[in-house]
Structure 1
Amino acid sequence: MIKRLLLTFLPGLLVLPALAATTEAESPEARGLAIAQEADRRDSGWGDQTADMKMILRNRQGEESTRELRTRTLEVEGDGDKSLTVFDHPRDVKGTAFLSYSHATRPDDQWLYLPALKRVKRIASKNKSGPFMGSEFAYEDLSSQEVAKYSYRFLREEELDGRPTFVIERYPQYEHSGYTRQVVWIDQEMYQPLKIEFYDRKNSLLKTLTVSGYRQYLGRYWRPDRMDMVNHQTGKSTTLLWSNYRFRTGLTDRDFDRNALKRAR
């Protein structure tokens, strides 16, 4: 997901692994880019995937509400991925659908279908830093994180919860981002993020995403069971619980056209 969530949701990053442990003479920018490229290379070739998700919203007082969703994602060669997210529960959001076309070097295309209004709403580029369906994930967090969307800088190597990581900084290169920078802890074995810190337009720490419960699929691709996004400025948080990953199910572009928003059930 993290190429996509995040994935999709969260989303939520052509060198060989040895290149990531390059010489001290290499610039921090070149090493950071090399790590991001390797993460992208390792997470390419899966084709399409579907998954189920529970979204748990918590307010400042710790009160919770839960939503149930389904996601599908199509890998697009030479561009960003396409994804469709459909809400199944509770009743007040049932049938709401979110369609995203991620792009590497131009603004993403995103639409939201609201069944109560029976209309499709396009998400403007300048609004993509806003919250998605009341969660602590922004619309821009839901695009696949293409390498070309950022510039990079290697910071250090360190252990996180007993796992060796590369810590890199990435800077959005697209317009209207809500972030000045992100600090990413990338697991040195999986080349997947374990933690991301998001800094707002004033360069203050806004949110922290923690990703856990990784499992390997098809003998190659790592996907998490859980993502926790904490907003340090509001005290709110959102947890995504992932299950039932399936790959290479035969999805096509038609499953991700704008009519798919209204067909989604």
Structure 2
Amino acid sequence: MKIKSYLSSVVIGSIFAFGAIASGTVLAASAEEKGFEISKEAKVRDSGWGDSQASMRMLLRNAQGEEDIRDIRIKSFEVKGDGDKSLTVFDQPRDVKGTAFLSFSHALEADEQWLYLPSLKRVKRISSRNKSGPFMGSEFAFEDLSSFELEKYTYNFLKEESCDLGNCFVVEQFPVDKRSGYKRRVVWVDDKEYRISKVNFYDRKDSLLKTLVFSEYNQYQDKFWRAHKQEMTNHQNGKSTVLEMSGISFSTGLTENDFNQNSLKRAR
């Protein structure tokens, strides 16, 4: 099913379907429509933030429990009508200092991503074929770092159940891009604020690959929720990566000019 025809068929009953979800009643909306509407509401509630900056500590833990820590800065820019842009810069330790990652997410086209390696003094473009590869030795893949866009998935509502954030909708999301490293994702979204509690990632053989848990949420500008901790656990290799956010700020004056390949090389 083509994504445009899929979206059109879902939107026809969108208001009716979401009313059924919000009220907790069971109406005639299909599981596909419910899954789409929940995901759409989560996206809508996190729209309008403009630009943001934050500091992040990345903790890498191997199967033996040994740890490695990296300090990172992140800049993000919201693009209306398309995916967001982000610039990630590594400050510590010395062996990765100056490494920078630029990502242009897109709704219908393939994401564009570049990695600047200071040791080689060159910018490397990340091929769409390699989007499932690990980002800087972490358990996050390159495709995990792009913004969530509705058009990237088809949907299926599974159930409601309790979760760490209270009560959650459980929704399957199936990547439209055949080059994705995942066959599907199962997402837990709380029914009050539409924050993500947990995501299970299934590999192309439909085996559970990773689980991402979001916690320590804070609200900004009385609207936008941000998880100050994310932990990705790889069930197949025993490794994990923890991201701890701090110093989150919005409306910092960033523009699209701050996000280009030249910004990779001058990132300090």
Structure 2 counterpart of 1:208, from 204, 208, 211? 211
Match of residue 167 from structure 2: 164
Shift of 1:203: 0.3
Task: After TM superposition, list the pairs within 5 Å mapping 1:98-113 onto structure 2.
Answer: 98-113=101-116
In the alignment, is the contact (CA less than 8 A) between 2:165 and 2:197 conserved in 1? no
Is 1:152 aligned to 2:169, yes or no?
no
Paired with 1:84 and 1:168, the residues of 2 have a C-alpha distance of 29
Match of 2:94, SS?
coil
- Corresponding position: 1:230 with 2:229: no
Aligned residue for 1:58?
A: 61
Structure 2 partner of 1:92: 95
User: For the residues of structure 1 that align with 2:95 and 2:141, how far apart are their CA atoms?
Assistant: 21
- Which runs of 4 or more aligned residues in structure 1 lie more than 2 Å from their structure 2 counterparts after TM superposition? 14-24
Where in structure 2 are the equivalents of 1:175-254 lying within 5 Å? 175-254=178-257
Where 2:204 maps in the other structure, the secondary structure is coil
Q: Secondary structure at the match of 1:214?
A: strand
Distance 2:15 2:143 in 1: 27
Residues 1:128 and 2:131 are matched in the alignment: yes
5+ residue gaps, structure 2? 1-13
Separation (CA, whole Å) in 2 of partners of 1:189 and 1:219 = 15
How far apart, in 2, do the equivalents of 1:216 and 1:231 lie? 29
* Root mean square deviation, CA, Å: 1.3
Letter in 2 for 1:181: R
Number of aligned residue pairs:
252
CA distance in 1, matches of 2:83, 2:95: 31
Q: Check the 8 A contact 2:78/2:85 in 1, yes or no.
A: yes
CA distance change for structure 1 residues 15 and 226 in 2, over 3 Å: closer, same or farther?
farther
Picking from 119, 122, 126, the partner of 2:122 is: 119
Given that 1:15 and 1:38 are in contact with CA atoms closer than 8 Å, whether structure 2 keeps it comes out as no
Q: 1:18 Cα shift?
A: 4.0
2:82 corresponds to which letter in structure 1?
D
- For 2:21 and 2:217, the matched residues in 1 are separated by 21
- 1:161, 1:216 → 2: CA distance? 17
Number of the residue aligned with 2:26: 23
User: Residues 15, 263 of structure 1: CA spacing in aligned structure 2 closer, same or farther, 3 A cutoff?
Assistant: farther
TM-score of the aligned structures, taking structure 2 as reference length: 0.92
- Cα offset, 1:190, TM superposition: 1.7
Cα distance in 2 for partners of 1:15, 1:226 equals 33
1:170-215 Cα deviation digits (max 9, x unpaired): 0001131000000000011221110000000100000000000010
Identity %: 60
**3-state secondary structure, aligned to 2:257:** helix
Matches within 5 A, 1:9-48: 18-21=19-22, 23-48=26-51
1:137-185 CA-partner distances (Å, limit 9, x unpaired): 0000000010110001000010013611000000001131000000000
Q: Distance in 2 between matches of 1:190 and 1:128?
A: 30
The structure whose Rg is larger is 2
